Structure formats: structure tokens, C-alpha cells
Amino acid sequence: MRYSALSIFLNGLRGNTGWTSAWHFPEPRPHYDVIIVGGGGHGLATAYYLAREHGITNVAVLEKGYVGSGNVGRNTTIIRSNYLLPGNNPFYELSLKLWEGLEKDLNYNAMVSQRGVINLSHNDSQYAAQMRRGNAMRLHGVDAELLDREQVRSMLPYLDFDNARFPVLGGLLQRRGGTVRHDAVAWGYARAADQRGVDVVQNCEVTGIRRENGRVVGVETTRGFIGCGKLALAAAGNSSRVAAMADLKLPIESHVLQAFVSEGLKPFIDCVVIFGAGHFYVSQSDKGGLVFGGDIDGYNSYAQRGNLATVEHVAEAGVALIPALSRVRVLRSWGGIMDMTMDGSPIIDRTPIDNLYLNAGWCYGGFKATPASGYCFAHLIARGEPHPTTREMRLDRFERGYAIDERGLGAQPNLH
């Protein structure tokens, strides 16, 4: 069923009884050309682009829970391509371009909202670093505007410009950045992949990876053994656990990141505001709630819940930036598991094991990457060679000494 204004109108006349399920609930088949582990944004997007770009449709996405139960439905919905390094920028810009056409492409309303993303600066060195980043972006053909203090004030008058520790000096604005409704992205890709013949199998946990003569031949699951020609891992926060099933040790630590939503307020934040110095970012949803987050909890965990010390830290950072927030009540919070690499950049690569492909290490930033991640991972799986924008996102870069350290902070997940 295609979604359109006419279909909404006609179904409205029939009391909305004509809608069909957005995707099927298939029983897993004994064998697929490609199995993707993880029905998050990246796994589903990979399946969709395998079918659309490469005509590979004998594909299963195996998801241990339900579609959208992982980070794709837990993030703070920010998309942007304001990256500095050549190993990152073209990839994230490809992603932003794919976001721009995504809803038409998937025939699904993902509420892509290019409302602008502004990163604030609070001292001279930060301002200079933003200037450098903005110039690097423009050299890559990406939009970037450096704002001075008064320009920021005209956009965001409610900030504490004269905060003793974090006075606002300016900011770097990317107008094409913004937000996308996170779980709609999972639903949109699941529906579009399903329509092209992909099996999206929910409640099917991968519990083992079977190898014969060094090659992957299939996976053990809670619904039995399923054979495959190629196996692609897109398990985000659980990447190291799943890779361990093939005796592969990843340069990744899993950490919890929390998100928060306030009570509904009248519209007052019309873009995404990022306060990197205090680690706080906020936007306002269409329902009026402030959607915000901060730093990772700082200890290794596979639990999808965080602790109160971080809640306090995020609240302090928020109030330091926007004092009026002290009177706002938080309605909901939750946590997701972040697959943190030691340089803060992702991995889209083959592994040393035949037929085993890896998509992991997305840290805080994997939501914005979803379309390009799927597009480039599908390219790698189908053609056996990396997409030009992911050539540096290799698994062995850590042992070779070619880290993509976007923030120049060294091997510390809590600083990326």
C-alpha cells in the first residue's frame, strides 16, 4: 500500500479500517544470500539499499527484540554533517543528502526537519576551532556559518551569555542540520525493505555464528539455525558481544547514554543547540517537549538504563546554559547502549573472517549516519570493496596507527 494524501482521505471515509500491516512477520527461511544481525536503523537501511541499489533481495534482518527497540528509537534525533576530517566529512554529507530525499524515497513521513544545528563556543580557542571546522566543511562543499555573539543572541536570546564559566562567544551554524523522528526511520526502512522482498524477522536473537573451514556459513538463533552466503553485523551497542561469537575482539567499549524529555512547552527553541563545553544538547519536539541529553554514563554496561549522577550532571549543564530550564519538569528518560570506538569514528569494513562484514562503533553519532551507513555497508557487501566515502573507516586502523580522531582527544570514549 502506498501512502498518500488520497489514501489518508479514502481510509478516513472508511473509518480507518483499510490500513494493512506496514511489513510482514515472516518465519525465517533455511538459507539467505545475506543475513544482517540487528534490526536497528543501520541493519534495516543496509537491507533496503542491498535490494534497491544492488538487486540483492534474498536477505534477512534478524532482530532479537522488535524493530526500533534499540538505539534507533532511543536517540535525541539530531542529524548534521559538520565534521572536520576528510575521513568523516564526505560520509556524513552523503548521509545528510540521503536524509533530504528520504521521505520521498521510502514513501514514509519521517518528519525530517532541517531546522539548523548550532554549536556554541565559549572561549577564543573554541571559536578558532569552529572557524577551522567551518572552513573545512565549506571546502568539502558543506554549508557552515560562523556566528558572532550578537548573531547567536538574536537567534537564542534565552541563553546565559554572561555565565561566569561558560560565556557565549559565538557559534557554528549548519542550517541544513536538524532532527528526524527516530523510530519513524526504523519503521520507514523496515517497510521499504519488506516491500522489496527482504525478510524482517523480529524476536529472533542470534546466539552463535557457525563457521566451516574458516568461513561463516550461518547463525544459530533462538528460532533455529539459518544458513547464509554472507553475514553482516549491525548490532550497535551489542557489536562486541555478537562479534565475540566469531572469536573476534573489537576495539570497542559499550557505554550507556541517556536521553530526556520535558513536559510540553510553548515553542521557544526552533533549532538544535549544542553546548559542547558542558556536554548538553537540546531541541524541541513538535509536541512541545524539550528533547535533550549529555554525556555517557562513563562505565561499561550493556544495560539500557543509566544512573542518577549523570541525570544531575545533564540538568546542571542545561541550567548553566539556559537558566529558565530550572523550572521545567522532566517527564521521561531512558538509556541506550553506545558502541564507543577509541577514536570516536565508526567501522564499516570486512573482518579477517571470510564472509563476515562489520558495521559498528557509532558512538553518539550513528543516527545521523543511518542512511549513508546502510548505503555504504550495502555497497561493501555487494561489491566486496568499500564505498569511496568509507575508505578510512577500517577495522585495522587502530593497529596501523591511522585513527580518525575527529575531536583530537585521544583514546578516551568518555571524551568523544
Ligand X SMILES: Cc1cc2nc3c(=O)[nH]c(=O)nc-3n(C[C@H](O)[C@H](O)[C@H](O)COP(=O)(O)OP(=O)(O)OC[C@H]3O[C@@H](n4cnc5c(N)ncnc54)[C@H](O)[C@@H]3O)c2cc1C
- φ/ψ (deg, to 5) at 391: -60, -30
399 sits in which H/E element:
helix 397-400
Pick 121 or 345: Cβ nearer ligand X: 345
Question: Does the footprint of ligand X cover residue 64 (CB under 6 A)?
Answer: yes
Residue 373: CB minimum distance to ligand X, A: 7
C-alpha cell at 204: 529472533
Pick 144 or 219: Cβ nearer ligand X: 219
Question: Does the footprint of ligand X cover residue 283 (CB under 6 A)?
Answer: no
Positive/negative CA dihedral, 252, 38, 111, 294: negative
Burial class of residue 164, CB neighbours in 10 A (0-12, 13-18, 19+)? exposed
Site for ligand X in 344-363 (CB under 6 A): 362
Question: Does the footprint of ligand X cover residue 306 (CB under 6 A)?
Answer: no
Radius of gyration for the alpha carbons in the chain, expressed in angstroms and rounded: 21
Place of cell 572536520: 84
Residue 161, Cβ neighbours under 10 Å: how many? 15
Pick 169 or 381: Cβ nearer ligand X: 381
Q: Which residues contact 12 (CB under 8 A, 6 or more apart)?
A: none
Task: Quote the Cα angle for 265-268-270, to 5°.
Answer: 120
Residue 76: CB minimum distance to ligand X, A: 4
Stretch that binds ligand X, among 62-70, 94-102, 126-134, 151-159 (CB under 6 A): 62-70
C-alpha cell at 129: 576551532
Residue 48: CB minimum distance to ligand X, A: 13
Pick 187 or 362: Cβ nearer ligand X: 362
Question: Does the footprint of ligand X cover residue 178 (CB under 6 A)?
Answer: no
CA atoms of 188 and 342, how far apart (whole Å): 32
C-alpha cell at 138: 565549506
Question: Does the footprint of ligand X cover residue 71 (CB under 6 A)?
Answer: yes
Question: Does the footprint of ligand X cover residue 258 (CB under 6 A)?
Answer: yes
How many whole angstroms from its chain centre is CA 218? 27
Stretch that binds ligand X, among 24-32, 52-60, 133-141, 255-263 (CB under 6 A): 255-263
Stretch that binds ligand X, among 100-108, 123-131, 231-239, 382-390 (CB under 6 A): 231-239
Binder among 238, 301, 351, 389 for ligand X (CB under 6 A) = 238
- Minimal CB distance residue for ligand X: 40
Can you give the binding site for ligand X, defined by CB under 6 A? 37-43, 62-65, 69-72, 74-78, 205-206, 234-238, 242, 257-259, 293, 336, 338, 362, 364-368
